[in-house]
Structure 1
Amino acid sequence: MTGAADQGVRIGLSVVVMALKDRRSVVLTTQGEDGARALPFGPFDPVRDRTFELALRDFVTEQTGFRLGFVEQLYTFGDAGRATPRATPAVDQRREVSVGYLALTPDAAEVQTEAQTHDARWDAAFDIFPWEDRRTANPALRNALSQGLALWAGDNDQRQARARALFALTPDHRWNEERVLERYELLYEARLVAEAWRDGDQPPPPSVLPGMTMASDHRRILATGLGRLRSKLKYRPVLFDLTPGVFTLSALQAAAEAVSGLTLHKQNFRRGVERTGLVEPTGQLSSATGGRPAELFRFKGVDPQTGAAPGLSLPAQR
């Protein structure tokens, strides 16, 4: 009889740490065991560790030299055989449950320290998910995406409908920036990302889409985190967790665009910011814009009486 320990559960903790750097959204990564980039990840020891969050904070600092600020639980990933983005049950593996967290920081400073144990760095989110950046035309990527999805869908009406809806392949479909995870999982199913071939122990063909491969199912976890962040932009003032204490409205718009992957209408965005009452002028000007000095603003914070703090609207692209 197989012992309980052989069929037990291993609990791991992973975190998506996102920041803005050079007007790009970036994510903190480490070196995975197979050489691929990975999210900060570590085991939870129920004997040694008092809480998930304390364990998470300790190993992230150990691995990267970075100290986490506010974190929130993202999702619990508990599929059997979750060393792959799609569950592939394996009888000789224990169930591994990963509790994912999302953390935001306004400081994407260098994370190199003598104490770190994993080659930590900040990677651009759109280097990992290039199809999620809709701000500039990328005909080569769009053609490869369309052709790959067409070959996968074939004459299957259901597949065709999924691809058109998720990737807005026709003018009558609107791009929904929040559906990052659904798009990645469809691309995995269509074998258009390298992980799908890696998990089948096959070398990826030239037809796979560009994008940085990540260890285990970490690109899936990151897709969940990016989708959550994009959703929260609209109902909570999370953008200010990524920005410095003072900022111009142009810099605030650039931050929103860097996260959403959308080009936003300048005047509509500013009017939306003013309607929320979330910011106030500092009475100072910034000369770092390269042109006419711009007014500096700061986040007013949550209403102390009501606790209300709305998100920011993302007006239509130009």
Structure 2
Amino acid sequence: MEPTATEPGDIPPLRIGLNAAIVAVTNHTPNILAVPASPGQGAADGLPFGPFDPARQRTFEASLRASVESQTALNLGYVEQLYTFGDRGRQMRSDEQGAHMVSVGYLALTRADAENPEALHATGARWRDWYELFPWEDWRDGRPGMLDAAILPRLLPWAVEKADQPQTPSRMARIRLAFGLNDFPWDEERVLERYELLYEAGLLTEAVADQRVSSTGLTVPLGRAMRFDHRRIAATAVQRLRAKIKYRPVIFELMPPDFTLTQLQTTVEAISGRHLHKQNFRRLVEGAELVEPTGAASSATGGRPAALYKFRAKILEERPAPGLRLGGRG
């Protein structure tokens, strides 16, 4: 018997919200902007959010920019849409009564030196190191110890719990691919896959809040939790940005107008979560023709003055996909 079509009156009302994962890099640290919770939302921070009101704003992006400015005093520069988040239960409400909130997530990039820190601080918004949210993603000083001490000892037994049930791909195959086990390399772009595996296995605080598990069973939480599914949105943003810097020059949205090659390298390392060999990186930048010297130098390091560079905007007219195609680990 074929199911009958749902009548329009049977569909619960939907509301559209807009979330922004706003990224800036300060002192070699990649940050995501977090805003404090409203009354009744618990203690966890979240991403800037605002409802879409078509009576006041013509487009999602215009509405997002207005909401962010009112909440954080930031005027956004680069913005791109990520994904639509609409799973049932995403707001941690057990009754699921009333309108269901569907959120359109955005990635936004800004320069730390372009903001008004006093105005930002007055709003209650704070920059959070994104490796506080995803500590297993930071490989700049080598393989994170928590992978072997806390994550894999719990993930691997979970993977075989239902190994006799058909799953395509299997839990174990997903873990091998996402976490780089056996012959698979660690792929820094699989941020969302790793987050979702940890959530499904009940190892994240959000899984407890969503009543998927009663406890993570961990003595120390795996990273800083966010309210609702905002950490999932943030993971989507980190993944998008790590991939995007390889084929578009978006990294320069995070750089000051003039910068040294060392500053550029540390910013790329901060975003990608990996150490890069200095000489290989410089050859990569020079070969990509993404920068040009300004003729000036910086003595901010206190040592030998370092040449200053700027983004070579002409590259956008010369190549369809200019970016930093990172190779193997340095």
TM-score by length of 2: 0.86
Equivalent position of 1:80 in the other structure: 88
Q: Please state how far the C-alpha of 1:73 moved relative to its aligned partner.
A: 1.2
User: Alignment partner for residue 262 of structure 2, among 250, 254, 259?
Assistant: 250
User: Alignment partner for residue 63 of structure 1, among 51, 68, 71?
Assistant: 71
For 1:7 and 1:242, locate their aligned partners in 2 and report how far apart those are by CA, in whole Å: 41
Aligned residue runs from structure 1 range 154-173, under 5 A? 154=160, 156=163, 158-170=170-182, 172-173=183-184
SS across alignment from 2:186 = coil
Q: Please state how far the C-alpha of 1:292 moved relative to its aligned partner.
A: 2.1
CA contact 1:13–1:56 (8 Å) conserved in 2: yes
Structure 1 residues 155-209: Cα deviation after superposition (integer angstroms, max 9, x where no partner):
6382222212211133x11111111111100000011111111111845433564
Match of 1:164, as an amino acid? R
CA contact 2:24–2:32 (8 Å) conserved in 1: yes
Q: Please state how far the C-alpha of 1:54 moved relative to its aligned partner.
A: 1.8
Equivalent position of 2:135 in the other structure: 130
Q: Please state how far the C-alpha of 1:141 moved relative to its aligned partner.
A: 4.5
CA pair 185-55 structure 1, distance change in 2 beyond 3 A: same
Q: Please state how far the C-alpha of 1:3 moved relative to its aligned partner.
A: 9.5
Count of paired positions: 312
Aligned residue runs from structure 1 range 129-208, under 5 A? 129-137=134-142, 138-154=144-160, 156=163, 158-170=170-182, 172-200=183-211, 202-207=214-219
Consecutive unaligned residues of structure 1, counting only runs of 5 or more, are: none
For 1:75 and 1:116, locate their aligned partners in 2 and report how far apart those are by CA, in whole Å: 30
SS across alignment from 2:181 = coil
Q: Please state how far the C-alpha of 1:210 moved relative to its aligned partner.
A: 2.4
Aligned-pair RMSD on alpha carbons?
2.5
CA contact 1:66–1:111 (8 Å) conserved in 2: no
User: Alignment partner for residue 24 of structure 2, among 19, 26, 31?
Assistant: 19
Q: Please state how far the C-alpha of 1:262 moved relative to its aligned partner.
A: 0.6
CA pair 116-73 structure 1, distance change in 2 beyond 3 A: farther
Match of 1:132, as an amino acid? E
Structure 1 residues 29-62: Cα deviation after superposition (integer angstroms, max 9, x where no partner):
1012312110000111233332212221111111
CA pair 165-246 structure 1, distance change in 2 beyond 3 A: same
The question of 1:230 aligning with 2:242 is answered yes
CA pair 193-294 structure 1, distance change in 2 beyond 3 A: same
For 1:209 and 1:91, locate their aligned partners in 2 and report how far apart those are by CA, in whole Å: 27
CA contact 1:37–1:214 (8 Å) conserved in 2: yes
Match of 1:94, as an amino acid? A
State the identity %.
49
CA pair 270-238 structure 1, distance change in 2 beyond 3 A: same
SS across alignment from 1:154 = helix
Match of 1:34, as an amino acid? G
SS across alignment from 1:298 = strand
Equivalent position of 2:3 in the other structure: none
CA pair 49-177 structure 1, distance change in 2 beyond 3 A: same
SS across alignment from 1:143 = helix
CA contact 1:110–1:121 (8 Å) conserved in 2: no
Equivalent position of 2:288 in the other structure: 276
Structure 1 residues 93-121: Cα deviation after superposition (integer angstroms, max 9, x where no partner):
4332111111111226464438965x201
CA contact 2:109–2:253 (8 Å) conserved in 1: yes
Equivalent position of 2:167 in the other structure: none
Structure 1 residues 212-234: Cα deviation after superposition (integer angstroms, max 9, x where no partner):
10010000001111101011111
Consecutive unaligned residues of structure 2, counting only runs of 5 or more, are: 1-6, 165-169
For 1:83 and 1:302, locate their aligned partners in 2 and report how far apart those are by CA, in whole Å: 45
User: Alignment partner for residue 46 of structure 1, among 41, 54, 57?
Assistant: 54
User: Alignment partner for residue 43 of structure 2, among 35, 40, 57?
Assistant: 35
